[in-house]
């Protein structure tokens, strides 16, 4: 009898442990810029895309923005160079579904819905279209699906907004949430994925034309 109880207890403990581990969150990328010095180029991101001249001043780490208790990345809206991307390291995916979270601050004077651009590319760098293509500005979050643009929801200018993207490479869809309020429908995205070695990386888009400074923080990608 004792042996039977011991076997049952052991099985239950093993099952609980397996379930807990299986359901655990695996963080693929996290960046809050806490390890970067003020005024430095962000160390965990790279310079990619169409960047002309010295672009270091475009992307800087800033300290003490209102509503944020730590450091943040600032993308300066000044006429320097032409346009380009700031990209994260490439992340290998263990399964098809993943979640991307980040905080964004666009000033109240934003009048252009394209003021802050955020892309997620799958596999090969800059093979258009990206898997996810969104813009924040002028009080709205815009989603681009191929040649179609839709206003996904409202964002508050002049304060931090938390954006969550719940994506699935298997069906090329993403659910967008703004400040933890999920929008009603999934957005479909076109992409070419290597099913054997699926990868993604993040890209912050920058262009000139004296756009307002935008601020980014607390990037997290997990499965």
CA distances (Å), origin 174, targets 40, 115, 151, 180, 188: 33, 22, 14, 15, 7
pTM of the model: 0.84
The closest of 86, 108, 93, 208 to 160, measured between CA atoms, is 108
Query: What ranges do the domains of the chain cover?
Result: 26-222
pLDDT tens for the chain, 223 residues: list them.
544 544 334 443 343 343 344 467 899 999 999 999 998 888 898 765 544 445 556 788 988 676 677 899 998 876 555 677 788 999 999 988 999 999 999 988 888 898 899 999 887 666 777 889 999 999 999 999 878 899 999 999 999 999 999 999 888 899 999 999 998 889 988 777 777 788 899 999 877 666 788 999 999 999 9
Sign of the CA dihedral running 42, 190, 101, 81:
positive
pLDDT at 81: 52
Q: Between 3.40.50.300, 2.60.40.3080, 2.60.120.560, 3.20.20.140, what CATH number should domain 26-222 receive?
A: 2.60.120.560
How confident is the model at residue 175, as a pLDDT?
Answer: 95
């Amino acid at each position: 009898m004792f042996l039977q109880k011991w076997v049952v207890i052991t099985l239950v403990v093993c099952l609980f442990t397996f379930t807990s581990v299986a359901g655990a969150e695996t963080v693929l990328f996290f960046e809050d810029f806490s390890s970067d010095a003020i005024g430095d180029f962000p160390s965990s991101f790279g310079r990619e895309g169409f960047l002309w001249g010295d672009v270091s001043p475009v992307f800087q780490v800033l300290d003490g923005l209102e509503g944020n208790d730590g450091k943040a990345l600032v993308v300066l809206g000044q006429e320097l160079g032409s346009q380009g991307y700031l990209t994260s390291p490439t992340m290998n995916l263990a399964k098809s579904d993943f979640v991307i979270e980040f905080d964004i601050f666009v000033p109240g004077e934003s009048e252009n819905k394209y003021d802050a651009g955020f892309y997620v590319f799958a596999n090969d760098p800059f093979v258009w279209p990206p898997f996810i293509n969104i813009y924040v500005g002028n009080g709205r979050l815009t989603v681009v699906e191929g040649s179609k643009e839709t206003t996904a929801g409202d964002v508050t200018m002049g304060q931090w907004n938390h954006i969550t993207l719940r994506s699935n490479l298997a069906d090329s869809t993403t659910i967008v949430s703004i400040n933890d309020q999920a929008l009603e429908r999934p957005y479909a995205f076109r992409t070419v994925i290597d099913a054997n070695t699926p990868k993604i990386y993040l890209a912050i888009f920058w262009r000139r034309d004296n756009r307002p400074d935008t601020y980014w923080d607390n990037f997290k990608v997990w499965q």
